[in-house]
Amino acid sequence: MSNISLEKVRQAITLMQGGDIDVWLTFARETMQTPDPALDLIFPHNLTWDSAFLVSRSGRSLAIIGRYDADNVRKEGAYDDVRTYDQGISQALREAVAELAPKRIGLNYSLSDTGCDGLSHGNFLRLQQMLGDLAELASADELVRRLRESKSASELARIRETTRMQQAVYAEMFKLPLRGMNELDIQNRAHEIIARHGLEIDGDPAANPIVNAGPESSIGHGLPSAALTLQPGMVLHFDMWLRHNGYCADLQRCAYVLRPGEIKAPDLVQRAWDSCWLALEAGKAALKPGVAAWEVDNVAREALVECGYDEYLHAFGHHIGRATHDGGSVLGPRWERYGDRPFKQIDVGSVFTLELGVILEGHGYIGIEEMVVVTETGNEFISTPQRELRLI
Protein backbone atom coordinates (compact mmCIF):
# COMPACT_ATOMS: atom_id res chain seq x y z
CA MET A 1 0.00 0.00 0.00
CA SER A 2 2.93 2.34 0.63
CA ASN A 3 3.09 3.65 -2.91
CA ILE A 4 -0.51 4.76 -2.95
CA SER A 5 -0.36 6.63 0.40
CA LEU A 6 2.76 8.46 -0.69
CA GLU A 7 1.30 9.18 -4.15
CA LYS A 8 -1.84 10.61 -2.56
CA VAL A 9 0.03 12.78 -0.01
CA ARG A 10 2.06 14.24 -2.89
CA GLN A 11 -1.07 14.68 -4.99
CA ALA A 12 -2.72 16.52 -2.06
CA ILE A 13 0.19 18.96 -1.88
CA THR A 14 -0.15 19.61 -5.61
CA LEU A 15 -3.91 20.13 -5.33
CA MET A 16 -3.40 22.59 -2.45
CA GLN A 17 -1.32 24.95 -4.57
CA GLY A 18 -3.35 28.03 -5.41
CA GLY A 19 -6.10 27.05 -2.95
CA ASP A 20 -7.01 28.70 0.34
CA ILE A 21 -6.21 25.79 2.65
CA ASP A 22 -2.78 26.11 4.26
CA VAL A 23 -2.85 22.85 6.19
CA TRP A 24 -5.06 19.83 5.60
CA LEU A 25 -5.70 18.02 8.87
CA THR A 26 -7.13 14.51 9.04
CA PHE A 27 -8.03 13.75 12.65
CA ALA A 28 -9.33 10.33 13.67
CA ARG A 29 -9.56 7.85 16.54
CA GLU A 30 -10.78 4.24 16.82
CA THR A 31 -11.04 3.99 13.06
CA MET A 32 -12.40 0.45 13.17
CA GLN A 33 -15.51 1.87 14.78
CA THR A 34 -15.63 5.28 13.09
CA PRO A 35 -13.51 5.23 9.94
CA ASP A 36 -12.73 8.38 7.97
CA PRO A 37 -12.89 7.65 4.23
CA ALA A 38 -10.34 10.40 3.52
CA LEU A 39 -7.85 8.78 5.88
CA ASP A 40 -7.90 5.59 3.77
CA LEU A 41 -6.31 7.55 0.93
CA ILE A 42 -3.29 8.62 2.97
CA PHE A 43 -2.94 5.77 5.51
CA PRO A 44 -4.38 2.31 4.85
CA HIS A 45 -4.49 0.76 8.35
CA ASN A 46 -6.58 1.25 11.46
CA LEU A 47 -5.67 3.60 14.27
CA THR A 48 -6.76 3.34 17.87
CA TRP A 49 -5.85 6.51 19.73
CA ASP A 50 -6.30 10.10 18.54
CA SER A 51 -4.24 10.52 15.38
CA ALA A 52 -3.49 13.61 13.33
CA PHE A 53 -2.13 13.74 9.78
CA LEU A 54 -1.10 17.20 8.61
CA VAL A 55 -0.23 18.06 5.02
CA SER A 56 0.86 21.62 4.35
CA ARG A 57 0.69 23.61 1.15
CA SER A 58 4.37 24.31 1.63
CA GLY A 59 5.03 20.60 1.06
CA ARG A 60 5.45 19.24 4.58
CA SER A 61 3.74 16.06 5.78
CA LEU A 62 3.58 15.30 9.47
CA ALA A 63 1.77 12.71 11.58
CA ILE A 64 1.11 12.74 15.34
CA ILE A 65 0.30 9.23 16.47
CA GLY A 66 -0.21 7.35 19.71
CA ARG A 67 2.78 5.24 20.70
CA TYR A 68 1.36 1.85 19.74
CA ASP A 69 0.20 2.89 16.27
CA ALA A 70 3.30 4.89 15.35
CA ASP A 71 5.34 1.98 13.96
CA ASN A 72 2.74 1.29 11.29
CA VAL A 73 2.74 4.93 10.23
CA ARG A 74 6.55 4.96 10.03
CA LYS A 75 6.57 1.71 8.01
CA GLU A 76 4.06 3.18 5.58
CA GLY A 77 6.64 5.82 4.78
CA ALA A 78 4.29 8.51 3.51
CA TYR A 79 5.11 11.15 6.17
CA ASP A 80 8.35 13.07 6.55
CA ASP A 81 7.86 13.52 10.26
CA VAL A 82 6.11 11.04 12.61
CA ARG A 83 5.74 12.19 16.22
CA THR A 84 4.35 10.11 19.08
CA TYR A 85 2.61 10.76 22.38
CA ASP A 86 1.44 8.72 25.34
CA GLN A 87 -1.08 10.60 27.42
CA GLY A 88 -2.80 13.05 25.10
CA ILE A 89 -2.43 14.48 21.61
CA SER A 90 -3.29 18.12 22.23
CA GLN A 91 0.13 19.49 23.16
CA ALA A 92 1.94 17.85 20.25
CA LEU A 93 -0.83 18.89 17.88
CA ARG A 94 -0.76 22.50 19.02
CA GLU A 95 3.02 22.56 18.65
CA ALA A 96 2.85 21.16 15.13
CA VAL A 97 0.18 23.63 14.08
CA ALA A 98 2.17 26.49 15.60
CA GLU A 99 5.21 25.40 13.55
CA LEU A 100 3.22 25.22 10.33
CA ALA A 101 1.46 28.52 11.17
CA PRO A 102 -1.56 28.10 8.89
CA LYS A 103 -4.20 30.78 8.50
CA ARG A 104 -6.77 28.19 7.54
CA ILE A 105 -6.88 24.49 8.40
CA GLY A 106 -9.02 22.27 6.18
CA LEU A 107 -10.95 19.48 7.92
CA ASN A 108 -12.78 16.42 6.61
CA TYR A 109 -16.38 17.57 6.74
CA SER A 110 -18.92 18.22 4.04
CA LEU A 111 -22.64 18.87 3.87
CA SER A 112 -23.16 16.79 0.76
CA ASP A 113 -20.17 14.53 0.15
CA THR A 114 -19.86 11.50 2.42
CA GLY A 115 -16.36 10.72 1.17
CA CYS A 116 -15.22 14.06 2.62
CA ASP A 117 -17.34 13.87 5.78
CA GLY A 118 -15.38 11.48 7.96
CA LEU A 119 -14.75 13.87 10.86
CA SER A 120 -17.19 13.18 13.67
CA HIS A 121 -19.01 16.07 15.28
CA GLY A 122 -17.45 15.22 18.64
CA ASN A 123 -13.96 15.38 17.14
CA PHE A 124 -14.82 18.68 15.45
CA LEU A 125 -15.76 20.15 18.82
CA ARG A 126 -12.48 18.84 20.29
CA LEU A 127 -10.44 20.41 17.46
CA GLN A 128 -12.24 23.69 18.07
CA GLN A 129 -11.14 23.51 21.71
CA MET A 130 -7.57 22.47 20.87
CA LEU A 131 -6.87 24.69 17.85
CA GLY A 132 -9.60 27.31 17.65
CA ASP A 133 -7.24 30.09 18.83
CA LEU A 134 -4.48 29.14 16.39
CA ALA A 135 -6.22 29.03 13.00
CA GLU A 136 -9.51 29.17 11.20
CA LEU A 137 -11.12 25.74 10.81
CA ALA A 138 -12.82 25.17 7.46
CA SER A 139 -14.09 22.38 5.25
CA ALA A 140 -11.50 20.64 3.04
CA ASP A 141 -14.20 19.01 0.96
CA GLU A 142 -13.08 20.32 -2.43
CA LEU A 143 -9.52 19.16 -1.82
CA VAL A 144 -10.58 15.74 -0.57
CA ARG A 145 -13.09 15.34 -3.36
CA ARG A 146 -10.48 16.00 -6.04
CA LEU A 147 -7.99 13.75 -4.27
CA ARG A 148 -10.48 10.89 -4.20
CA GLU A 149 -11.72 11.42 -7.73
CA SER A 150 -8.52 11.65 -9.66
CA LYS A 151 -7.07 8.15 -9.56
CA SER A 152 -3.34 7.61 -9.69
CA ALA A 153 -1.97 4.98 -12.06
CA SER A 154 -1.62 2.38 -9.33
CA GLU A 155 -5.14 3.07 -8.08
CA LEU A 156 -6.56 2.59 -11.58
CA ALA A 157 -4.64 -0.65 -12.02
CA ARG A 158 -6.18 -2.01 -8.82
CA ILE A 159 -9.71 -1.04 -9.86
CA ARG A 160 -9.21 -2.79 -13.21
CA GLU A 161 -8.03 -5.92 -11.43
CA THR A 162 -11.03 -6.02 -9.08
CA THR A 163 -13.37 -5.48 -12.04
CA ARG A 164 -11.78 -8.36 -13.95
CA MET A 165 -12.13 -10.59 -10.89
CA GLN A 166 -15.76 -9.63 -10.34
CA GLN A 167 -16.56 -10.50 -13.94
CA ALA A 168 -15.02 -13.92 -13.37
CA VAL A 169 -17.32 -14.33 -10.34
CA TYR A 170 -20.37 -13.47 -12.48
CA ALA A 171 -19.26 -15.94 -15.15
CA GLU A 172 -19.27 -18.69 -12.51
CA MET A 173 -22.59 -17.59 -11.03
CA PHE A 174 -24.26 -17.98 -14.42
CA LYS A 175 -22.97 -21.57 -14.53
CA LEU A 176 -25.03 -22.45 -11.44
CA PRO A 177 -28.25 -24.47 -12.00
CA LEU A 178 -30.20 -21.26 -11.46
CA ARG A 179 -33.66 -22.41 -12.56
CA GLY A 180 -35.67 -23.37 -9.52
CA MET A 181 -33.18 -21.95 -7.02
CA ASN A 182 -34.47 -19.33 -4.62
CA GLU A 183 -32.90 -15.91 -4.10
CA LEU A 184 -31.25 -16.84 -0.81
CA ASP A 185 -29.75 -20.07 -2.21
CA ILE A 186 -28.34 -18.13 -5.13
CA GLN A 187 -26.82 -15.56 -2.78
CA ASN A 188 -25.27 -18.27 -0.61
CA ARG A 189 -23.67 -19.91 -3.63
CA ALA A 190 -22.47 -16.49 -4.81
CA HIS A 191 -20.78 -15.94 -1.43
CA GLU A 192 -18.87 -19.21 -1.88
CA ILE A 193 -17.72 -18.20 -5.36
CA ILE A 194 -16.68 -14.74 -4.18
CA ALA A 195 -14.65 -16.21 -1.31
CA ARG A 196 -13.00 -18.74 -3.63
CA HIS A 197 -11.92 -15.92 -5.95
CA GLY A 198 -10.35 -14.08 -3.03
CA LEU A 199 -12.63 -11.05 -3.19
CA GLU A 200 -14.11 -9.25 -0.18
CA ILE A 201 -17.77 -8.34 0.05
CA ASP A 202 -18.01 -4.60 0.60
CA GLY A 203 -20.39 -4.01 3.49
CA ASP A 204 -23.20 -6.23 4.66
CA PRO A 205 -23.10 -9.72 3.04
CA ALA A 206 -26.82 -10.14 3.76
CA ALA A 207 -27.54 -7.53 1.09
CA ASN A 208 -24.65 -8.22 -1.31
CA PRO A 209 -25.00 -9.54 -3.96
CA ILE A 210 -28.51 -8.33 -4.56
CA VAL A 211 -30.49 -11.14 -6.15
CA ASN A 212 -33.84 -10.30 -7.77
CA ALA A 213 -35.85 -13.20 -9.10
CA GLY A 214 -38.93 -11.95 -10.90
CA PRO A 215 -41.54 -9.29 -10.29
CA GLU A 216 -42.25 -9.98 -6.60
CA SER A 217 -38.66 -9.35 -5.56
CA SER A 218 -37.69 -6.34 -3.49
CA ILE A 219 -36.03 -3.86 -5.88
CA GLY A 220 -33.21 -1.71 -4.55
CA HIS A 221 -30.99 -2.69 -1.64
CA GLY A 222 -33.40 -5.40 -0.43
CA LEU A 223 -32.45 -8.73 1.09
CA PRO A 224 -32.94 -11.94 -0.92
CA SER A 225 -35.92 -14.10 -0.07
CA ALA A 226 -36.02 -17.87 0.35
CA ALA A 227 -39.65 -17.74 -0.80
CA LEU A 228 -38.86 -16.44 -4.29
CA THR A 229 -37.81 -19.16 -6.73
CA LEU A 230 -36.49 -18.49 -10.21
CA GLN A 231 -39.22 -19.48 -12.69
CA PRO A 232 -39.67 -19.33 -16.47
CA GLY A 233 -40.71 -15.87 -17.66
CA MET A 234 -38.79 -14.12 -14.90
CA VAL A 235 -35.98 -11.65 -15.22
CA LEU A 236 -33.03 -12.50 -12.95
CA HIS A 237 -31.07 -9.45 -11.83
CA PHE A 238 -27.80 -9.28 -9.89
CA ASP A 239 -26.02 -6.31 -8.34
CA MET A 240 -22.74 -6.84 -6.51
CA TRP A 241 -19.98 -4.65 -5.10
CA LEU A 242 -16.69 -6.29 -4.20
CA ARG A 243 -13.26 -5.20 -3.00
CA HIS A 244 -9.79 -6.53 -3.62
CA ASN A 245 -6.52 -5.03 -2.47
CA GLY A 246 -8.40 -1.99 -1.14
CA TYR A 247 -10.26 -1.11 -4.37
CA CYS A 248 -13.82 -1.83 -5.48
CA ALA A 249 -15.85 -2.91 -8.47
CA ASP A 250 -19.64 -2.63 -8.83
CA LEU A 251 -21.53 -4.22 -11.71
CA GLN A 252 -25.07 -5.43 -12.40
CA ARG A 253 -25.89 -8.40 -14.57
CA CYS A 254 -29.23 -9.59 -15.99
CA ALA A 255 -30.80 -12.65 -17.55
CA TYR A 256 -34.19 -13.83 -18.77
CA VAL A 257 -35.52 -17.32 -17.96
CA LEU A 258 -37.03 -18.85 -21.10
CA ARG A 259 -40.51 -20.35 -20.94
CA PRO A 260 -41.23 -23.64 -22.67
CA GLY A 261 -41.07 -23.07 -26.42
CA GLU A 262 -39.31 -19.69 -26.17
CA ILE A 263 -35.96 -19.26 -27.87
CA LYS A 264 -35.58 -15.58 -27.06
CA ALA A 265 -36.91 -13.08 -24.57
CA PRO A 266 -40.40 -11.69 -25.24
CA ASP A 267 -40.46 -8.39 -27.14
CA LEU A 268 -41.53 -6.50 -24.01
CA VAL A 269 -38.40 -7.68 -22.20
CA GLN A 270 -36.06 -7.26 -25.14
CA ARG A 271 -37.32 -3.75 -25.82
CA ALA A 272 -36.69 -2.76 -22.21
CA TRP A 273 -33.16 -4.15 -22.38
CA ASP A 274 -32.43 -2.34 -25.65
CA SER A 275 -33.89 0.90 -24.29
CA CYS A 276 -31.74 0.69 -21.19
CA TRP A 277 -28.66 0.31 -23.37
CA LEU A 278 -29.73 3.16 -25.63
CA ALA A 279 -30.12 5.41 -22.57
CA LEU A 280 -26.85 4.21 -21.04
CA GLU A 281 -24.92 4.90 -24.24
CA ALA A 282 -26.53 8.34 -24.51
CA GLY A 283 -25.42 9.19 -20.99
CA LYS A 284 -21.97 7.72 -21.56
CA ALA A 285 -21.51 9.92 -24.65
CA ALA A 286 -22.19 12.99 -22.50
CA LEU A 287 -19.56 12.10 -19.87
CA LYS A 288 -16.33 14.07 -20.33
CA PRO A 289 -14.14 16.51 -18.42
CA GLY A 290 -15.68 19.89 -17.71
CA VAL A 291 -19.38 19.03 -17.95
CA ALA A 292 -21.53 19.22 -14.83
CA ALA A 293 -22.33 15.84 -13.33
CA TRP A 294 -26.11 16.36 -13.45
CA GLU A 295 -26.03 16.93 -17.21
CA VAL A 296 -24.74 13.40 -17.78
CA ASP A 297 -27.58 11.96 -15.69
CA ASN A 298 -30.08 14.16 -17.48
CA VAL A 299 -29.15 12.87 -20.92
CA ALA A 300 -29.54 9.23 -19.85
CA ARG A 301 -32.72 9.96 -17.87
CA GLU A 302 -34.42 11.76 -20.77
CA ALA A 303 -33.37 9.08 -23.26
CA LEU A 304 -35.02 6.39 -21.11
CA VAL A 305 -38.19 8.45 -20.63
CA GLU A 306 -38.35 9.06 -24.39
CA CYS A 307 -38.41 5.29 -24.83
CA GLY A 308 -41.62 5.34 -22.77
CA TYR A 309 -40.33 4.16 -19.39
CA ASP A 310 -40.52 5.75 -15.94
CA GLU A 311 -37.45 7.66 -14.91
CA TYR A 312 -35.20 5.74 -12.54
CA LEU A 313 -35.25 6.97 -8.93
CA HIS A 314 -31.50 6.95 -8.36
CA ALA A 315 -28.39 8.53 -9.86
CA PHE A 316 -27.05 7.44 -13.24
CA GLY A 317 -23.62 6.91 -11.73
CA HIS A 318 -21.32 7.25 -8.77
CA HIS A 319 -17.57 7.38 -8.27
CA ILE A 320 -15.94 4.14 -7.28
CA GLY A 321 -12.49 3.52 -5.80
CA ARG A 322 -11.63 2.72 -2.20
CA ALA A 323 -15.35 2.72 -1.55
CA THR A 324 -18.12 1.49 -3.79
CA HIS A 325 -20.05 4.74 -3.35
CA ASP A 326 -17.02 6.92 -3.42
CA GLY A 327 -18.30 10.35 -2.48
CA GLY A 328 -17.29 13.20 -4.75
CA SER A 329 -19.58 14.34 -7.48
CA VAL A 330 -22.52 12.18 -8.47
CA LEU A 331 -24.02 11.69 -11.92
CA GLY A 332 -27.42 12.40 -10.46
CA PRO A 333 -30.42 14.73 -10.79
CA ARG A 334 -30.53 18.02 -8.93
CA TRP A 335 -32.59 16.53 -6.11
CA GLU A 336 -32.31 17.64 -2.50
CA ARG A 337 -30.78 14.40 -1.33
CA TYR A 338 -27.79 14.77 -3.64
CA GLY A 339 -26.96 18.22 -2.22
CA ASP A 340 -24.48 20.07 -4.41
CA ARG A 341 -22.86 16.89 -5.71
CA PRO A 342 -24.63 16.94 -9.13
CA PHE A 343 -23.30 20.47 -9.71
CA LYS A 344 -19.61 19.48 -9.60
CA GLN A 345 -17.60 19.27 -12.79
CA ILE A 346 -16.24 16.01 -14.15
CA ASP A 347 -12.45 15.57 -13.81
CA VAL A 348 -10.00 13.47 -15.82
CA GLY A 349 -9.00 10.22 -14.10
CA SER A 350 -12.34 9.67 -12.37
CA VAL A 351 -13.88 6.21 -12.37
CA PHE A 352 -17.68 6.06 -12.49
CA THR A 353 -20.36 3.43 -12.55
CA LEU A 354 -23.07 3.98 -15.18
CA GLU A 355 -26.35 2.35 -14.20
CA LEU A 356 -30.06 2.46 -14.87
CA GLY A 357 -32.99 0.12 -15.16
CA VAL A 358 -36.65 -0.53 -15.78
CA ILE A 359 -39.22 -2.39 -13.69
CA LEU A 360 -41.19 -4.72 -15.96
CA GLU A 361 -44.54 -5.81 -14.59
CA GLY A 362 -44.88 -9.57 -14.69
CA HIS A 363 -41.17 -10.16 -15.33
CA GLY A 364 -38.96 -8.30 -12.87
CA TYR A 365 -36.18 -5.75 -12.92
CA ILE A 366 -33.99 -5.08 -15.95
CA GLY A 367 -30.84 -3.34 -14.75
CA ILE A 368 -27.49 -2.45 -16.30
CA GLU A 369 -24.39 -1.26 -14.49
CA GLU A 370 -20.95 -0.86 -16.05
CA MET A 371 -17.78 1.02 -15.09
CA VAL A 372 -15.86 3.69 -17.03
CA VAL A 373 -12.79 5.88 -16.58
CA VAL A 374 -12.87 9.52 -17.69
CA THR A 375 -10.19 10.39 -20.26
CA GLU A 376 -9.08 13.75 -21.68
CA THR A 377 -11.77 13.64 -24.36
CA GLY A 378 -14.51 11.38 -23.02
CA ASN A 379 -14.47 8.05 -21.25
CA GLU A 380 -13.89 4.37 -21.84
CA PHE A 381 -15.22 1.17 -20.34
CA ILE A 382 -13.22 -0.50 -17.58
CA SER A 383 -15.67 -3.40 -17.45
CA THR A 384 -16.43 -5.67 -20.37
CA PRO A 385 -20.00 -4.55 -20.91
CA GLN A 386 -22.92 -6.98 -20.96
CA ARG A 387 -24.35 -5.97 -24.33
CA GLU A 388 -26.77 -8.88 -24.70
CA LEU A 389 -29.44 -9.99 -22.28
CA ARG A 390 -28.49 -13.46 -21.09
CA LEU A 391 -30.95 -16.30 -21.61
CA ILE A 392 -31.31 -19.07 -19.06
Whole-angstrom distance, CA of residue 186 vs CA of residue 342: 35
- Name which of 49 and 309 has its Cβ closer to a copy of itself: 49
Per-residue binder mask for a copy of itself (CB under 8 A), 247-286, x = binder: ----------------------------------------
The answer to whether 237 and 365 are in contact (CB under 8 A) is: yes
Q: What is the phi/psi pair of residue 220, to 5°? A: 110, -135
Whole-angstrom distance, CA of residue 35 vs CA of residue 180: 41
The answer to whether 330 and 352 are in contact (CB under 8 A) is: no
Out of 26, 112, 152, 275, the residue judged to bind a copy of itself by CB under 8 A: 112
Site for a copy of itself in 297-336 (CB under 8 A): 313-314, 323-327, 335-336
Number of residues that bind a copy of itself (CB under 8 A): 69
Segment near a copy of itself (CB under 8 A), from 159-167, 216-224, 293-301, 340-348?
216-224
Whole-angstrom distance, CA of residue 78 vs CA of residue 271: 52
Out of 11, 120, 182, 229, the residue judged to bind a copy of itself by CB under 8 A: 120
What is the three-class DSSP state of 295? helix
What is the three-class DSSP state of 380? strand
* C-alpha 15 chain-centroid distance: 21
CB of 158 to a copy of itself, least distance (A): 16
Out of 110, 162, 379, 386, the residue judged to bind a copy of itself by CB under 8 A: 110
- Name which of 127 and 265 has its Cβ closer to a copy of itself: 127
Binding to a copy of itself by residue 221, rule CB under 8 A? yes
Binding to a copy of itself by residue 132, rule CB under 8 A? no
- Name which of 139 and 162 has its Cβ closer to a copy of itself: 139
Q: What are the CA-CA distances from residue 339 to residues 107, 110, 118, 299, 352 (Å)? A: 19, 10, 17, 20, 18
CB of 66 to a copy of itself, least distance (A): 7
Neighbours of 109 (CB within 10 A): 21
Binding to a copy of itself by residue 51, rule CB under 8 A? no
Binding to a copy of itself by residue 50, rule CB under 8 A? yes
Binding to a copy of itself by residue 349, rule CB under 8 A? no
Binding to a copy of itself by residue 48, rule CB under 8 A? yes
Site for a copy of itself in 71-90 (CB under 8 A): 71-72, 75, 85-90
Whole-angstrom distance, CA of residue 22 vs CA of residue 99: 12
Cβ-count burial 303-327 (b if 16+ within 10 Å, e if not): bbeeeebeebebbbbbbbbbbbbbb
390-391 and 379-381 as β-strands: parallel, antiparallel, unpaired? unpaired
Binding to a copy of itself by residue 114, rule CB under 8 A? yes
Binding to a copy of itself by residue 103, rule CB under 8 A? no
Cβ-count burial 219-239 (b if 16+ within 10 Å, e if not): eeeeebbeebbbeebbbbbbb
351-360 and 364-374 as β-strands: parallel, antiparallel, unpaired? antiparallel
Out of 176, 188, 203, 343, the residue judged to bind a copy of itself by CB under 8 A: 203
Binding to a copy of itself by residue 124, rule CB under 8 A? yes
Interface contacts to a copy of itself, rule CB under 8 A: 29-37, 44-46, 48-50, 66-69, 71-72, 75, 85-90, 107, 109-126, 139, 202-204, 206-207, 218-223, 313-314, 323-327, 335-337
